[in-house]
Structure 1
Amino acid sequence: MTDIQATPSTASFRLAYVPGVTPAKWLRVWSERLPDVPLTLVQVDSTDGSRALAAGEADAGLVRLPVDRTVLSAIPLYTETTVVVVPKDHLLTALEEVTVAELAEEVLWHPLDDTLDWPDRPGLPAYERPATTAGAIELVAAGVGLLVVPQSLARLHHRKDLTFRPLVDVPQSQIALAWPEAATTDLVEEFIGIVRGRTVNSSRGRAKEEPAPTAAPRKQGAKPQQKQAQKPQAKGGKAQPKRPGAQAKAAPAKRGRPGGRRAR
């Protein structure tokens, strides 16, 4: 049974996360299972997760792929829907989903922290590249151009005057749990188990239930004890023989004349 205690080397656990990721549900499970080991969140830029982990700024991280697989281990968790952010009065809001062809005449912003790997970017190129996704959102709200991002970032930068529509047949962002391969500690294993949904009693969990006590093994050759019927003992210690007919049926009554007074 594994028992992790808060020692100077494992006094806390640092978890990096990129914008758009919400680790709250995993933090709740962590606090329930390891209340003596505080978890510290470290927010990093969308494209900075791999560097932060390699530099030892966090023990593990919820980051977007790709990461540097020469120094990091990674477990893909889920893939995000790609959306296009538009003003609420834009013509594209009449559609339930948008295709790349429908963006051909639209100016699309390409911020420097873009998380999508485009072989060929759709739409018309903008005159400059905003430094951040948040800056590009401001430009869309001003009525200049559109923006393609993972859905979680569109929700993170939500504005009342903007909306978004799913964009089909385009690159998608993938979220993964990553950590330095050379520093796969017990606490990292604990967080991997939490993210993968392992129960506290699983083989890699922090604690397992004690097995129920079992009966002591019977010695080889020993026979189980059986209750023996006690036989009645006669005087002198000899068993009293069973008398035949002890439980004989009652003799049938003699047949006679029907009851009543005899005729004279």
Structure 2
Amino acid sequence: MTDSQVTPSFRLAYVPGVTPTKWVRIWNERRVDVPLTLVAVAAGEAFELLRGGGADAGFVRLPVDRTDLSAIPLYTETTVVVIPKDHVVAAVEEASTEDLADEIVLHPLDDTLDWENLPGQPANERPATTADAIELVAAGVGVLAVPQSLARLHHRKDLTYRPLSGAPESRIALSWPEEATTDLVEDFIGIVRGRTVNSSRGRTQAQGSAPDQPKRKRPDTGGTAKRKPAAGKPTAKSTGKSSGKSSGKPGKGARSGSGGASKGGKRGKPRGRS
């Protein structure tokens, strides 16, 4: 099978916590001819996957090395602290890093937050993964600060979380190899940026949809316009003729338009007799 006969496809990587469902749905509606394959990847391995050609583009966490990768920042996540439901911090709507001064704050090796100074007390060992750290929180060993999406991903009935102020935040971006900015990558960028299918910057037309047609003018209904009196033609007012209304005096009715005779008997005889 030659390269021209290979069915095109688009591989989209995503790190834990990202939910690409919305963008995948739009892609499937617009590009029914190109199947999209999702590739789950750990946050620390996403960039090597893109560089190695394992995916055409991917949702990653910033920062991104712009030497060979392009990136479009999308949104910033809220940082939360994961705690047992009976923890004292669960009584407040929002916690601060100062509130964790006496707590053991777990710091997993795959942490996505760029801490300058980790709050609280350090644990004896760093958990290998965020999932392992969640298990330790459930066991009452300590608490964990993570992006909110990861707290939801690892939700447990015995745990809860609260927004954490004073902590670094994680930002999500769409990234791809700069030298591999293909037409399909451009199509997906358009979807992520919210371009419509008929956008002047979009590349594709929805499959099966007809191109826009120019609007047609409404056909003439054939109605005739009201005619205006010809210029210079005398009207009833200018000739002094009666409009048909009675003058109020007995015996003086309005003249008929057909015979010109008056309804008042003797008054209707022609003048000029001796």
In the superposition, relative to structure 1, how do residues 142 and 256 fare at CA in structure 2: closer, same or farther (>3 Å)?
Answer: closer
Pair 1:253-2:250 in alignment: no
In the superposition, relative to structure 1, how do residues 160 and 53 fare at CA in structure 2: closer, same or farther (>3 Å)?
Answer: same
Give runs of aligned pairs for residues 135-174 of structure 1, distance below 5 A: 135-174=132-171
From 199, 202, 214, the counterpart of 1:202: 199
Tell me the secondary structure at the aligned position of residue 48 of structure 1: helix
Give runs of aligned pairs for residues 206-217 of structure 1, distance below 5 A: 206-207=204-205, 210-212=211-213
Deviation at residue 207 of structure 1 after TM alignment: 1.5
Pair 1:121-2:115 in alignment: no
Aligned residue identity for 2:192? V
Pair 1:193-2:190 in alignment: yes
Task: State the partner residue of 1:219.
Answer: none
- Rounded Cα–Cα distance in structure 1 between residues aligned with 2:118 and 2:176: 31
- Rounded Cα–Cα distance in structure 2 between residues aligned with 1:135 and 1:8: 46
Tell me the secondary structure at the aligned position of residue 167 of structure 1: strand
Deviation at residue 211 of structure 1 after TM alignment: 4.4
TM-score, reference length from structure 1: 0.78
Contact 1:107 1:123 in 2 (8 A): yes
Give runs of aligned pairs for residues 69-84 of structure 1, distance below 5 A: 69-84=66-81
- Rounded Cα–Cα distance in structure 1 between residues aligned with 2:43 and 2:174: 14
From 29, 38, 47, the counterpart of 1:32: 29
Q: Could you list the runs of 5+ residues in structure 1 that have no partner in the other structure? A: 1-5, 216-248, 260-264
Task: State the partner residue of 2:232.
Answer: none
Deviation at residue 213 of structure 1 after TM alignment: 5.4
From 15, 19, 26, the counterpart of 2:16: 19
In the superposition, relative to structure 1, how do residues 213 and 146 fare at CA in structure 2: closer, same or farther (>3 Å)?
Answer: closer
- Rounded Cα–Cα distance in structure 2 between residues aligned with 1:196 and 1:165: 30
The structure 1 segments of at least 4 consecutive aligned residues displaced by more than 2 Å after TM superposition are: 6-10, 208-215, 249-259
Pair 1:178-2:175 in alignment: yes
From 85, 89, 101, the counterpart of 1:88: 85
Task: State the partner residue of 2:238.
Answer: none
- Rounded Cα–Cα distance in structure 2 between residues aligned with 1:65 and 1:131: 21
Task: State the partner residue of 2:47.
Answer: 50
Aligned residue identity for 1:136? A
Deviation at residue 9 of structure 1 after TM alignment: 6.0
- Rounded Cα–Cα distance in structure 1 between residues aligned with 2:72 and 2:191: 13
TM-score, reference length from structure 2: 0.76
Aligned residue identity for 1:197? G
Contact 1:150 1:173 in 2 (8 A): yes
Deviation at residue 251 of structure 1 after TM alignment: 5.9
Give runs of aligned pairs for residues 216-227 of structure 1, distance below 5 A: none
Tell me the secondary structure at the aligned position of residue 200 of structure 1: coil
Tell me the secondary structure at the aligned position of residue 19 of structure 2: coil
Per-residue Cα deviation, 1:25-46 (whole angstroms, up to 9, x for no partner): 1111111111111111111102
Deviation at residue 210 of structure 1 after TM alignment: 2.8
Q: Could you list the runs of 5+ residues in structure 2 that have no partner in the other structure? A: 217-256, 269-274
Per-residue Cα deviation, 1:36-83 (whole angstroms, up to 9, x for no partner): 111111111022222211121110001111111111111111111000
Quote the RMSD (CA, aligned, Å): 2.2
- Rounded Cα–Cα distance in structure 2 between residues aligned with 1:9 and 1:143: 54
Deviation at residue 212 of structure 1 after TM alignment: 2.4
- Rounded Cα–Cα distance in structure 2 between residues aligned with 1:54 and 1:168: 35
Tell me the secondary structure at the aligned position of residue 26 of structure 1: helix
Pair 1:108-2:117 in alignment: no
Aligned residue identity for 2:23? W
In the superposition, relative to structure 1, how do residues 49 and 8 fare at CA in structure 2: closer, same or farther (>3 Å)?
Answer: farther
Tell me the secondary structure at the aligned position of residue 39 of structure 2: strand
